[in-house]
Structure 1
Amino acid sequence: MNAAPDGARSGPLVGLRVVELDAIGPLPHAAQVLADLGADVVRIERPPGRALKIGDPGEPDHGLRGRRSVAADLKTPEGRATVTSLAARADVFVEGMRPGVAERLGVGPEELTVRNPSLIYARVTGWGQTGPLAQTPGHDINYISLSGALHAMGRAGEPPAPPLNLVGDYGGGSMLLLVGILSALYERARSGRGQVVDSAMVDGAVLLSQPLLALRATGGWADERAANLLDGGAPFYDTYSCADARFIAVGALEPQFFRALLDGLGLQPTWGDQYDRAAWPTMRHAFQARFAERSRDEWAEKFDGTDACVTPVLTYAEAARHPHLTARSTFVEVGGVVQAAPAPRFSRTPAGAPRSPTPLESAPVDEIFSDRAPR
C-alpha cells in the first residue's frame, strides 16, 4: 500500500505528517483529532498480541479512526529502524510512555532529531517529565485529585464525584498536548527548528482550573463542595429529578434567565434576592417540588424556545438523535458506529468524514510518507 495522497484528505492540517507511538488515554485521542483535521497520522503498534487496548481485544478500536498503522517491536533493531525512518520524514512525533522509556528504547528526542532537526517531539504523561512523581504510575483520577479539581466536584457531605476521565485524560491531557503541538509548529514556521513538548495531565487540570483559582483569589470561590455558583451550590445552576426519574439541567445564572425560569415553573418568589445564599435552601426546595410534578420531556417541551437555560439531561444515545445535534451533524456514523464528528469547523478547509481504522500496513516503510525525503 502506498502513502495516502494528501488529495484524499481534507481539513486545515492536510500535508502534516505525524508518527504516533501506540498508547491509551490522551495520546490516541490527540492523534485522532489531528487525523480528523487532515493530518496523515501513522500509528506505530506493538506486534500483534502485544498491542495496548482497553476493552475486548477482538473488537475494533474506533478511537483509532483516521490513521494507518505499522507494527514495530521497539525492543529490536528492526523496530527502532522503522520508527526512526518514519520520524525522519515526519513533522510531529507523539509518545506517551513513562519518562525515560523512549530514551532507553532508542527513540527519544535526541535520537530522532539527529536526522530531523525540525521534528516536533510531543510527549504526554500524567505527572510530567520532571518532579518527584514523574516515575509514579497513575490515571486520570489521580492527576485531578492532586490538582485540586477533583475536590471541587460532587455533592456536599459526599465523596468527590469522578467526572469520567474528561478532565485529566482529555481536557488536561490531549487538548493541552494539541495546543503544544500546534504552538510548536507555529514557532517552527519562523525558526525552522523543532522542539520537545512536555504535556502533563496534572498541569492541564490546573490550567483548566485557572478561572476558578481567579475567583478563589478574590473570595468568589470556597473550597467546600456544593457551596458555589457552578458546583451545584446554587439552586439555579443544578440538575433536578423529574416525575419519570429522569433529569433536567438548569443554568439560569443571569437575572433575566432566572426570571424566565420562574415563569416557566409558574413560581412566585417568596425568597429574597436570587444571589442571597440564605434563600437558596427555600429556593431549591421549591424547584425540586415543581420539577417532580412532570416528566423530563414535558419540562423540556415547556422550556423549549425560552431564555430559561433549561435542558434535558440526555444519554449518549438520546443526544445523537437530538434535533440540534442532528442539524449540525455533531454525531456521525463511521463503519456503522455512532461517533463524534470532527471539530472545530473551518470555513475554507473543512474536515472530511472520519475514516475507519485501517489494518496494519504491509508495505515497506520507505513507501510510507514516500513523497517526503528524510531530512
Structure 2
Amino acid sequence: MQPLSGLLVLDFTTLLPGPLATLMLAEAGAEVIKIERPGGEEMRHYEPRFDGESAMFAQLNRGKTSLVLDLKSAADCAKLKPLLARADILVEQFRPGVMTRLGFGYDAVRAVNPKLIYCSITGYGQSGPRAAEAGHDLNYIGHTGLLALNPGPPDRPVVPPALVADIAGGTLPAVMNILLALRQRDHTGEGCHLDIAMTDGMFTFASHALAAGHATGQFPGMGGARLSGGSPRYQIYPTRDGKFVCCAALEQKFWEAFTEAIGLDAKFVDDGRDAAATKAAVTSLIASRTADEWRPVLAAADCCVTIMATLEEALRDPHFAGRGLFAHKVAGPSGKTMPALPVPIAPGFRGARGVAKAVPKLGAGELN
C-alpha cells in the first residue's frame, strides 16, 4: 500500500503548477479526479503530440481520471456535490474569488465537508494589492527581485531555463502543505484552506542575497551576489569548442584543487584581491581547451567543477538511468509508451517501476 492510498483528490487545475502537484499525490497512491471544462483543459491542445495526445499533458496527468463538468451549469454543479462530500483534498488554481462565484469557495465546501483540505494556488495569493493580477512564471520571478540578481547582459537578457515560480513556488509548497495539513487533520479531525502564492516562495530562493542585504544594508545588484555571478568560484566558463564548464568551487579546498588542476597563475589564486582579474584568467585558461580535454582533468581534481551536459546527454547518463528516474511509463491511447516525468517522490512510495499508467481520456471518469 502506498502512503496516500485511499485518499480522493479533486483537481480543478490546469497547465503546470497544480497538475504537477496532483501528479505527485497520484504517484504516492491518491486517486485523482481531474475536473475539466467541456472540451478539456488547454494543455490538451499543446504541441508536441505523443500518440495523438499532448506530450506535456500526458506527463503531467499520468494515472488520473477525467471528469467533464461545466461549472456554470447548475445541473453539472449538482453532480459535483457528492464528490465534494467525500473528497479529502481539493486543489484549485483560479484567480481569487472565482471558486466562490461558482459556488465552490472554501466556506461553501467546508459546510459540506469540514475535513476537506482545500488548496488554492495563485500567483500572488488570496489577499494583497496584487491578488487579482494575471501573471506567469517570468512575471513572478521578475516582481520578487529574484530575476534581477542575474538576468544576463542588458543587451541580451536571458530567459531562465526552469519555471521556478510554477514548480518551486507553486507545486512543491502545495504538496508540502497538503501533507502537513493531512497530518494536522489526524490530530484535529478538521480540514483547512491553504493559500499558496507562487511569488511568496521566490524570496526563499534569494536567501543568499537577502542575507547580504539585511546584514549590510546593501542588496546585491545584477550579477553581484556570490552565487549569481559575483565570484569567479561560481561561474560558467566557455570551452574552446563552445561547451561550458560549470565551476562551483566555493570552498577553499575545492578552489585550490581547481586552480592547481587548470594551472592558474599563483597571483590569481587569491580571488579576494581582484575577482575580475581572476575570472578573466580562468576564462582564458578554460577557453584554451575543449570540453573533452578538460573532462578527465576536472574529474581527477574532484573539485565541484563539471562539464555542462545537454538534456539528451543527461538522459543517457548511466547514473540517472541506474537510479530508475525514467523507469515509470505513460501509456497513450494505442498503448504506446514513453518515460513518465521524474518527480521527487521516494521510490518506495511511488509504486512499482515499469508500470505504464494511461493518459486520462477526456470525460472518462464516472460519478459514484
**Considering the TM-score relative to the shorter chain, is it more than 0.5?**
yes
Q: Describe the shift of the 1:166–1:324 C-alpha distance in structure 2 as closer, same or farther (beyond 3 A).
A: same
**Distance in structure 1 (CA, Å) of the matches to 2:318 and 2:293:** 16
Q: Hey, what does 2:302 align to over in structure 1?
A: 307
TM-score (norm 1): 0.86
- The RMSD of aligned alpha carbons is 2.3
**Distance in structure 2 (CA, Å) of the matches to 1:321 and 1:340:** 16
Q: Hey, what does 2:42 align to over in structure 1?
A: 52
**Distance in structure 1 (CA, Å) of the matches to 2:208 and 2:250:** 17
How many residue pairs were aligned?
Answer: 353
**Distance in structure 2 (CA, Å) of the matches to 1:272 and 1:246:** 24
**Distance in structure 2 (CA, Å) of the matches to 1:237 and 1:220:** 23
Q: Hey, what does 2:194 align to over in structure 1?
A: 197
> Do the aligned residues in 2 keep the contact of 1:155 with 1:232 (CA within 8 Å)?
no
> Do the aligned residues in 2 keep the contact of 1:12 with 1:38 (CA within 8 Å)?
yes
Q: Hey, what does 1:360 align to over in structure 2?
A: 362
| Letter paired with 1:358 | P
Residues 1-375 of structure 1 correspond to what in structure 2 (within 5 A)?
A: 11-48=2-39, 50-53=40-43, 55-56=46-47, 59-60=53-54, 61=57, 62-155=59-152, 157=154, 161-219=158-216, 222-271=219-268, 273-274=270-271, 276=272, 278-332=273-327, 334-335=329-330, 336-345=337-346, 349-353=349-353, 355-362=357-364, 364-366=366-368
> What secondary structure sits across from 2:84 in the alignment?
helix
**Distance in structure 2 (CA, Å) of the matches to 1:123 and 1:41:** 16
> Do the aligned residues in 1 keep the contact of 2:245 with 2:308 (CA within 8 Å)?
yes
Residue segments in structure 2 that go unaligned for 5+ positions in a row: 331-336
**Distance in structure 2 (CA, Å) of the matches to 1:280 and 1:358:** 54
Query: Which of 329-338 and 311-320 deviates more?
Result: 329-338
The offset of 1:100, in angstroms, is 0.8
Residue segments in structure 1 that go unaligned for 5+ positions in a row: 1-9, 367-375
**Distance in structure 2 (CA, Å) of the matches to 1:360 and 1:327:** 35
**Distance in structure 2 (CA, Å) of the matches to 1:249 and 1:199:** 33
| Letter paired with 1:302 | V
| Letter paired with 2:27 | D
Query: Which of 37-46 and 338-347 deviates more?
Result: 338-347
The offset of 1:84, in angstroms, is 2.3
**Distance in structure 2 (CA, Å) of the matches to 1:83 and 1:297:** 59
| Letter paired with 2:141 | I
**Distance in structure 2 (CA, Å) of the matches to 1:298 and 1:73:** 60
TM-score (norm 2): 0.88
**Post-superposition CA distance 1:17-76 (Å, at most 9, x none):** 21101312311111111112222111111112x522162385332221131111111111
> What secondary structure sits across from 1:304 in the alignment?
helix
**Distance in structure 2 (CA, Å) of the matches to 1:356 and 1:249:** 38
**Distance in structure 2 (CA, Å) of the matches to 1:350 and 1:118:** 25
Query: Which of 170-179 and 206-215 deviates more?
Result: 206-215
| Letter paired with 1:45 | E
Task: Give the percent of matched residue pairs that are identical in Structure 1 and Structure 2.
Answer: 33
> What secondary structure sits across from 1:131 in the alignment?
coil
| Letter paired with 1:185 | L
The offset of 1:96, in angstroms, is 0.1
**Distance in structure 2 (CA, Å) of the matches to 1:211 and 1:292:** 29
Higher helix share: 2
The offset of 1:13, in angstroms, is 2.1
> Do the aligned residues in 2 keep the contact of 1:156 with 1:224 (CA within 8 Å)?
no
**Distance in structure 2 (CA, Å) of the matches to 1:265 and 1:339:** 40
The offset of 1:147, in angstroms, is 1.1
**Distance in structure 2 (CA, Å) of the matches to 1:317 and 1:199:** 33
**Post-superposition CA distance 1:178-215 (Å, at most 9, x none):** 12211211111100001100101111112333443123
Query: Which of 13-22 and 197-206 deviates more?
Result: 13-22
**Post-superposition CA distance 1:196-248 (Å, at most 9, x none):** 00101111112333443123212397421122210022112111111211112
Query: Which of 65-74 and 116-125 deviates more?
Result: 65-74
Q: Describe the shift of the 1:317–1:231 C-alpha distance in structure 2 as closer, same or farther (beyond 3 A).
A: same
| Letter paired with 1:288 | T
**Distance in structure 2 (CA, Å) of the matches to 1:229 and 1:363:** 51
The offset of 1:141, in angstroms, is 1.3
